[in-house]
Amino acid sequence: MTAAIHLYRTLTQAASPFLGGVMKRRARAGKEDYGRINERLARNMPRRMPGGTLVWLHGASVGESQLLLELGQRLLEKRPDLLLLFTSQTQTSARLLGPALPDRAIHLMAPLDTPAIARRFIRHWQPDLCIFGEGEFWPNLILEAEKAGAKRALVNGRMTDSSAEGWQKLSGAFQRLVGQFDVVLAADTDTARRLETLLGQPVQSTGNMKSALPPPSASEVETRRLRENFLGTRRCVLAASTHDGEEAVFLDALKGDEDTALIIAPRHPDRGDAIESLLKSRGLPLARRSRGETPTPRTRVLLADTMGEMGLWYRLADSVFLGGGHAEGVGGHNPLEPVRLGRPVVTGPEVFNFATIMDDLEQRGLIRRLKTPKAIGKALLTMDPPAPEALAELNEAADAPMTVTLEALLPLLPEPGLLQ
């Protein structure tokens, strides 16, 4: 064990007595769910599902959770005997995963990474395979999983230059933690190169697994109802997965076009009050989805501050302003969903978390990365939908990263027992 890991374990253990109080304060501030604090502390957990091989899939937030949910469903198709345990860290991802879980799967809020909590969690669930999505490196959980003899895998690994520079100062700790993984797969060639430098061993780039995610579904009845009662003959522009400050950029971009219907679907629906205040300050008639308000042809903005309806908003939109590219430190969001639904997409320049995908899609003429409101507004109102030939080529290659990942993971699973 390196000195850095030893120090981390010592500090996190010292913090343990205070974590219950910290969690309660976070709950009062709306950052935790009171009813799920025990999950964060690995206490009073549900009984382990009887029989079967247990696979634990952990992702931080919404994007990783969607990816791991699809991966879990693919694993179940290959191995129906599996039991799946999903964990994530945000309330938004928990609300998304809950109703979408397949049979033989449960979701818990991710345990805090202290030695005692990690030990309780791993001993209780006894996972056979631990799958960490994208960039989730929690030392105590990783070490306890290793101690228990569980296989470990990093899938769709992503690492920026700044993250790599930070880990380079702790390269011994990184090699001790991730270098012992049974499978390490990168989402892009840049991440593979950075991981190879840190680990001193080859790392395979599968391509981004998010390309294999199916576009989100939507009710045909609700889509038709909103087209008739809200849009009418108006053009519709969607601001999807926006962060603080990006709604203002979007509204500035379309300030002069009063005949266009707007939909704003923030990344975090709990920002609805702040966005409503912004819209009212600009004198824009709005309807708020979370309050059940019905938009009419006189409604300029539909504030879609709900979860699980992005497929509906994409289908209503003629073009999409994708958030995350104008918000400091976010690094963009997955552009493949609206693109695969045939929508022209504009995003901002700060998309370092999706640089490879964005480069590829921009070269194919499927998205544009723009900075100023003037350029954004012009593009949103004039861009043509993606050409069918370009979409066909994109869809043909979309499933490859998921297939390669499954091929790497399946050999890590024990053979199903005779009684399973």
Same domain? 103 vs 236: no
Q: What is the DSSP letter of 418?
A: T
Amino acid at 69: L
Decide which of 205, 230, 250 is a domain's last residue. 205
- Among 122, 88, 374, smallest CA distance to 256 is for 374
Decide which of 180, 205, 230 is a domain's last residue. 205
Residue 418: inside a domain: no
Residue 408: inside a domain: no
Residues 91, 109: Cα–Cα separation, whole Å: 8
CA 341 from centroid of its chain's CA atoms = 19
Across the 420 residues of the chain, what is the mean pLDDT of every consecutive 10-residue run?
93 95 93 94 89 91 89 96 94 86 93 97 97 92 97 95 93 95 95 96 93 89 97 97 98 93 96 98 97 96 95 98 96 93 97 89 94 97 92 86 96 76
Q: What is the dihedral of CA 369, 375, 380, 381, to 10 degrees?
A: -150
Report the pLDDT value the prediction gives residue 126, as an integer from 0 to 100.
95
Structure tokens at 246: 């990006």
Same domain? 187 vs 336: no
Count how many domains the chain has. 2
Residue with tokens 């964060």: 40
Residue 420: inside a domain: no
- State the CB neighbour count (10 A cutoff) for residue 188: 23
On the CB side of 181, CA atoms within 13 Å amount to 30
Residue 118: inside a domain: yes
Residue 412: inside a domain: no
CATH code, domain with 171: 3.40.50.11720
Structure tokens at 418: 């005779």
Residues contacting 150, CB < 8 A, separation 6+: 56, 122, 126, 127, 128, 129, 130
Same domain? 84 vs 229: no
Contact 124, 45 (CB under 8 A): yes
Residues 48, 84: Cα–Cα separation, whole Å: 10
Report the pLDDT value the prediction gives residue 397, as an integer from 0 to 100.
81
pTM of the shown model: 0.77
CATH code, domain with 384: 3.40.50.2000
Structure tokens at 337: 């969903």
- Our separate counts of H helices and E strands in the chain read 19, 14
Kindly report the three-state secondary structure assignment for every residue of 176-190.
HHCCCCCEEEECCHH
Residue with tokens 């012009």: 378
Residue with tokens 């700060």: 350
- Among 120, 39, 33, smallest CA distance to 86 is for 39
Residues contacting 193, CB < 8 A, separation 6+: none
Residue 409: inside a domain: no
Same domain? 303 vs 192: no
Same domain? 117 vs 189: yes
Same domain? 201 vs 225: no
> What region does 379 belong to: left with phi over 0, alpha with psi -120 to 50, or beta?
alpha
Same domain? 159 vs 61: yes
Share of the chain above pLDDT 90, in %: 81
Residue 232: inside a domain: yes
On the CB side of 54, CA atoms within 13 Å amount to 20
Contact 61, 92 (CB under 8 A): yes
Residue 414: inside a domain: no
Same domain? 226 vs 354: yes
> What region does 199 belong to: left with phi over 0, alpha with psi -120 to 50, or beta?
alpha
Domain coverage including residue 331: 220-396
- Among 80, 90, 91, 38, smallest CA distance to 55 is for 80
Same domain? 291 vs 392: yes
Decide which of 163, 178, 205 is a domain's last residue. 205
Instruction: Label the pairing between strands 236-242 and 261-266.
Output: parallel
Tens-place pLDDT, residues 90-133: 888 888 888 889 989 999 999 999 999 999 999 999 999 999 99
- Among 122, 116, 142, smallest CA distance to 16 is for 116
Same domain? 30 vs 149: yes
Same domain? 187 vs 259: no
Structure tokens at 147: 């101690």
Tens-place pLDDT, residues 159-174: 989 999 999 999 999 9
> What region does 332 belong to: left with phi over 0, alpha with psi -120 to 50, or beta?
left
Same domain? 385 vs 277: yes
Amino acid at 38: N
Contact 386, 336 (CB under 8 A): no
Report the pLDDT value the prediction gives residue 317, as an integer from 0 to 100.
98
